A and B are shown apart, each in its own frame.
Chain A
């Protein structure tokens, strides 16, 4: 550490030594080292991302809300008070999915329903990283209420995939995935109910992890399906994923389903996979996996063997029933969770309601987009008298069978591998008119949510110039085993995370896309230090 340099940083007069700092490739691990060594200040590091946002955001549109003034101000504060604030994540910029409430920062869930919502508290996962003095760059786009697999269901804007701007970034955490891939964030928080972290991470060529159900508090995560939702990291490397996860986990008395992990999250070091037994479920390869995806998947299995691991074929016989069960359970829970949006306590309210029922019905009819309405309808139908046993009751039993499949498989293998999603990024607008085709994007990721298991996706190569994701699923609370294996594999794959930005953005088409889109909330500023007091 150069003491002159540190004094200059603390005075806020450090001249930018940004030699070779590439936001498309820089990892949080390296950024942290540069900060600790005094090679760069947090303000300078933050400016790298604000500059990249200025350069590419008009093409990508990953953020619903930018908080640049806060980011600049807060990073300077971290630099000035570096000694006091040198927590493990201090000064590292982050993006947050806009379904986590942030006090003082508009939180919309990408819905017209919450276009003006000013949270009065902060989600535990976000508060934990704020307390570590991360710098928040903004709130990222998503499918409305996290319902979707392409981020096209956002009420505000379409996010483009930085690898090919005419394709989707996946979803529902598509804004977070695209922001990281495009170098508009060092890393990001997302949430995963049926694949909403792993699938966009796969399509955008980054790392995404859904922890074991309960590992990360859901307090302040706007609920979609409470028995399935989990918050997790989207990062440029497996090491970064572990580093961020360390600061997300922990028991929270405010979330009755949160649990302490049996062992702390460790930063991965493995380079070999000696003795690791990896199961490959034949059912996951029978769901219409694209040839290019299959080829990269098979190559990755070969790498596992080169690193000393063994791949064996296994069976998860109820896989084909997981998707139908999910599309009852998730909408059923959603229909109950979204009952709170009724125009009374917060958010959108219809104009001139004649009575209370009119207020409820028109507020919800006008405030929710087509996919959210579809899921509320499915859920309400499945829970209604006469259909409960045939749908919800049956789906809960299928959930038991899916769990048992995994229990039996993990008696013989340490981890399970599959492609994260059957195809690479698809063209924007190509699946918006066919909900079922869209639901198929999550066919390989949904079972882990139903069983509550940890799972992650790492990039394993390109097909037609677009990233392919490799998914690893572990037994409950096997986060460290998953991260170690993924770290070793990542080293062997050597994927270059810099996207190509080819192609042109596609804006909304007529398929279920409303004409009366509300304007996104404009840039605002806030002071996380106030929120942290």
Chain B
């Protein structure tokens, strides 16, 4: 059963700031959803291989050749803060 502490821990992993009332509400909602998901434990899956992808996935490679890329000003166009032609962020904690 997921606890409110679990919810706060997972929110930290997910880099999501959640308020106290949100954590409480989410604990109830996630518990209900996970209870439904636990239905999967009825199945004996020991001998079943996993499917990560429905297509036969093959590595797609291309020639190691220089190609035109997005110009710097285009790449920076949507940035909330820019400095010296780079993305600007606050200091690390």
Contacts and interface: CB of A to CB of B under 8 A. Distances in A.
B41 interface: yes
B92 A356 contact: yes
Contacts of A476: 54
A259 B57 CA distance: 11
B54 A213 contact: yes
B60 interface: yes
A377 B90 contact: no
Interface in B20-79: 22, 26, 29-30, 32-34, 36-43, 45, 48-55, 57, 60, 62, 70, 74-75, 77-79
Given A120-B70, A365-B18, A376-B16, A435 B29 contact: yes
Interface stretch (A18-26, A32-40, A307-315, A395-403): A395-403
Contacts of B36: 323-324, 327, 436
A325 interface: yes
Given A117-B78, A377-B7, A435-B29, A335 B14 contact: yes
Interface stretch (A87-95, A140-148, A339-347): A339-347
Contacts of B91: 355-356
Given A364-B17, A376-B16, A398-B43, A381 B2 contact: yes
B29 A374 contact: yes
A325 B40 contact: yes
Interface in A342-399: 342-349, 353-362, 364-366, 368, 373-374, 376-378, 380-381, 384, 390-391, 393-399
B91 to A, nearest CB: 6
Contacts of B26: 373-374, 377
B30 A377 contact: yes
B79 A380 contact: no
Contacts of A403: 51, 54
Contacts of B32: 435-436
A344 B43 contact: no
Contacts, number: 167
B10 A377 contact: yes
Contacts of B41: 390, 394
Contacts of A343: 80
A324 B32 CA distance: 12
A276 B90 CA distance: 64
A112 to B, nearest CB: 13
A364 B22 CA distance: 14
A399 B51 contact: yes
A348 B50 CA distance: 37
Contacts of A361: 15-17
A227 interface: yes
Nearest to A403: B51
A337 interface: no
A118 B76 CA distance: 11
A320 B89 contact: no
B19 to A, nearest CB: 8
Nearest to B6: A381
A344 B83 CA distance: 12
A374 B15 contact: no
A326 to B, nearest CB: 10
Interface string A112-135: 000011101100000000000000
Interface string A390-426: 1101111111110100000000000000000000000
A70 interface: no
A213 to B, nearest CB: 5
Contacts of B10: 377, 380-381, 384
Contacts of B22: 373
Nearest to B17: A365
A365 B50 contact: no
Nearest to B18: A365
A365 B14 CA distance: 10
A359 B87 CA distance: 13
Contact of B48 (A259, A378, A401, A450): A401
B37 to A, nearest CB: 4
Chain A to chain B: the 9 pairs with minimum beta-carbon distance, closest first: A452-B54, A365-B17, A396-B50, A346-B78, A349-B80, A361-B17, A355-B93, A399-B51, A256-B60
6 contacts: A345-B79, A356-B91, A376-B16, A377-B10, A397-B51, A401-B48
Given A318-B43, A356-B89, 15 more contacts: A345-B75, A345-B78, A359-B90, A366-B17, A377-B10, A377-B11, A377-B26, A378-B33, A380-B10, A397-B48, A399-B50, A400-B51, A403-B51, A436-B33, A436-B36
